[in-house]
Amino acid sequence: MSQFRFAVNVTPKPGILDPQGRAVEGSLGHLGIEGVSGVRVGRRVELTVEAADPTAATAVVERLARELFANPLIESFEVEPR
């Protein structure tokens, strides 16, 4: 068994209202920054998985992402090996 480190990035799906992203975007003017758009706020989960090989470890992370970290109705996710 080896240890594998992952990050899972969860973001609101396109078209889903993201009031946090909108609030962040609305504040950018106060920083004197222009030309930034499409801000979406999500979350990132980092974790270590003990498994026989990277494929098995990835399968565990994908299941966790699907069932727990992201709600498939409103969020999409990307699994990132580290």
Partner 1 sequence: MTRIGVVVFPGSNCDRDTLRGLELAGAEAVPLWHEQGDLDGCAAVVLPGGFAYGDYLRAGVIARFSPVMRAVAAFAGDGGLVLGICNGFQVLAEAGLVPGALLRNRGLRFLGRDVRLGAERLDTPFTSLVGDGRPLRMPIAHGEGCYFADDATLDELERDGQVLFRYVREDGTRAGVDQDAANPNGSLRAIAGVLNARGNVAGLMPHPERASDRLLGSDDGLPILRSLVEAAARSERATPALVGAR
Per-residue x/- track, 22-61, partner 1 (CB under 8 A): -x-------------------x------------------
63 binds partner 1 per the rule CB under 8 A: no
> If residue 55 lies in a helix (H) or strand (E), which one and from where to where?
helix 54-64
74 binds partner 1 per the rule CB under 8 A: yes
Of the candidates 17, 31, 33, 52, which one interacts with partner 1 according to CB under 8 A?
17
In three-state form (DSSP H/G/I as H, E/B as E, the rest C), the secondary structure along 13-41 is CCCCCCHHHHHHHHHHHHHCCCCCCCCCC
Kind of pairing, strands 2-12 and 43-51? antiparallel
Contact residues toward partner 1 (CB under 8 A) are: 16-17, 19-20, 23, 43, 68-69, 71, 73-74
